[in-house]
Amino acid sequence: MSYLDNDRLKQVFFLILIFLLGGVLFWRFTGFIPAFLGATTLYIMMRPLLFWLVRRKKWKKALAAILLIFLSFIVFLVPIGLFINMMTAKIGFAIQHSTELLNNIQNLIEKIKISFLNAKRKISKFHCSNNTLEASVL
């Protein structure tokens, strides 16, 4: 009898193959993880309402599920779609007027630099006047 018999070798090879395929599947489906987590979150949020509709109001499960899907669509997706639509219009406007936008940003940076330098000068003048005042008191 050899140290590794044929059946044991087949089992180890099969386990390695399963882990490799599982790793490849996980790697290829990483883009779906946020969707899966979102669906799980929606299920957890809507589950009590589904049970309330089915048990208390005596609705059919399919009808209650369709209503909740429709409500979640209206509550979540419509505002997000409107926000994206609004932002694409604003981003398009910013891209068309990018030179004006960059000039305004440069002017703002210059104003901030000037105000910072003025504040720094005032602080240094205050420091100098405090030092002379302390020297005259002593």
Comparing C-alpha atoms, which of 37, 75, 68 is closest to residue 50? Answer: 68
Q: How confident is the model at residue 61 (pLDDT cuts 50, 70, 90)?
A: very high
Q: What pLDDT shows up at residue 20?
A: 97
Query: What pTM does this model have?
Result: 0.49
Decide: 105 and 112 in contact? Cβ < 8 Å.
no
Q: Looking at residue 97, what is its pLDDT? A: 86
pLDDT tens-digit series, residues 77-124: 899 999 999 999 889 888 898 899 899 999 999 999 988 888 878 777
With cut-offs at 50, 70 and 90, classify the pLDDT of residue 69.
very high
pLDDT on residue 129: 62
Residues 6+ apart with CB under 8 A from 49: 68
Alpha helices in the chain (DSSP H): 6-28, 33-51, 61-72, 78-96, 98-137
Q: Write the burial class of residue 120 (CB in 10 Å: 0-12 exposed, 13-18 middle, 19+ buried).
A: exposed
Cα torsion at 114, 120, 121, 127 (round to 10°)? 170
**Contact criterion met (CB below 8 Å) for 53 and 67:** yes
The Cα 35–Cα 21 span in angstroms is: 22
Instruction: Summarize pLDDT for 3-53 with one digit per residue, the tens.
Output: 668 888 899 999 999 999 999 999 999 999 999 999 999 999 999 999 999
Per DSSP, 97 falls in state T
